[in-house]
Amino acid sequence: MTQQITIGLLMYPGAQLSAVYGLIDLFLSTNRIAMEHTPRTVEPLLVSRWQINPNSKRVEVIDGNGPRQLTVVIIPPNLESRGTDEPDAVLLDWLKAQHEGGAVVCSICTAAFVLARTGLLNGRPATTHWALKDVLATQFPEVYVQTDQMVIEDGDIITAGGVTAWIDLGLKLIDRFLGPSVMLAVAQFFLIDPNGREQRFYSKFAPQFYHGDEAILRVQHWLQTHYSEAIAIADMTAVASLGERTFLRRFKKATGMKPIEYLQALRVGKAREMLEFSQTSFSEIAWKVGYEDQGAFRKVFVRLVGLQPGEYRRRFSVRAMAG
């Protein structure tokens, strides 16, 4: 007889119900599939929901009989949150107590902000939605924010990135507790790609313009219309009317990127648009965004996006979406 795995889903104001009930459906179906696919006796995953009882001011189970100490705690996202909400201290204390008792604590998307407020992410790698990377990194500088990945499994802490990353997290937990064969069978039943996704497949380059440095903003606006030209640092410093060392320092401070990194990201963003909305060949796209060497641009594209241009077009072009 294997150990009973108990999974608690934490309900709190604004919690995304589609993630909560989607995970419940996923785990309940997993129990049935596990019984069918494993010859040994399998303890079913025991799933429960938890929330603060307004009368007792304690976090308590709200459906069924949940154990006081859980194997896994999952914090669902809040689609209305931008990381500024202050969770109830009772909730944060309960999360820390569950972790201290041996629970694997998991967050999805914006729930990384809730988890970060417990201090459990300090010194740890973590992910959240790619659009909130800078917000999380600024609010919690002791967290190593890495939003390229959809799921970061760091032993007793697991963070998942996108709004629908509850699917990836669910498969990760099934793999951990019931094994890869059950996980693959569940993925097949739900028509989910079990090979994993990365957020960088989906995240678009969104440069920061609200930094207050007029000279750097002038360069950014210039780059938006001149990105396809042969551009050197000297061209940018001329637009900014700054010396090179001052320009490099201020550009990195304002945008979070080096000028060449920024230009590469801008060009890759333009290339992604062309791959999505046209049938233009990649060699022509490379030329249109300012690269004479198609091979060099391909390497940059794969490094930033994580997919070959052809694969990106197959996944994300308008035709692919329509098909």
pLDDT in tens, 29-77: 999 998 887 656 667 899 999 999 988 899 999 986 677 789 999 999 9
CA distance 285 to 109: 33
Whose tokens are 């009989």? That residue is 65
Where are the domain boundaries for CATH 1.10.10.60 in the chain? 214-322
The token pair that represents 202 in the structure block: 């989906």
Q: Are strands 157-160 and 104-108 parallel, antiparallel or unpaired?
A: parallel
Helices 17-37, 166-178: crossing angle, 10 deg rounding: 30
The token pair that represents 45 in the structure block: 């995953």
Q: Are strands 46-53 and 58-61 parallel, antiparallel or unpaired?
A: antiparallel
Where are the domain boundaries for CATH 3.40.50.880 in the chain? 6-201
**Dihedral sign, CA of 309, 311, 314, 315?**
negative
SS3 call for 157: strand
CA distance 22 to 253: 41
CATH topology of domain 6-201: Rossmann fold (3.40.50)
Q: Note the pLDDT tens digit of each residue in 200-218.
A: 776 777 777 778 898 998 9
CA distance 283 to 298: 9
pLDDT of residue 1: 44
The token pair that represents 237 in the structure block: 């410093």
For residue 323, what is the DSSP state?
-
Single-letter amino acid, residue 319:
R
Residue pair 124/144 in contact by the 8 Å Cβ criterion = yes
For residue 124, what is the DSSP state?
S
pTM above 0.95, yes or no: no
pLDDT of residue 301: 94
Neighbours of 183 (CB within 10 A): 23
pLDDT of residue 41: 61
At 197, give phi and psi (nearest 5°): -125, 170
> What's the CATH number of domain 214-322, 3.40.50.300, 1.10.10.60, 1.10.10.10, 3.20.20.150?
1.10.10.60
Neighbours of 284 (CB within 10 A): 12
Give the side-chain half-sphere CA count within 13 A for 115: 35
CA distance 72 to 160: 14
pLDDT of residue 38: 65
CA distance 109 to 128: 5
**Which residues in the chain land under pLDDT 70?**
1-2, 38-42, 64-65, 194-197, 202, 318-323
**Angle at CA 219, nearest 5°, toward 216 and 222?**
155
CA distance 75 to 81: 13
Residue pair 302/263 in contact by the 8 Å Cβ criterion = no
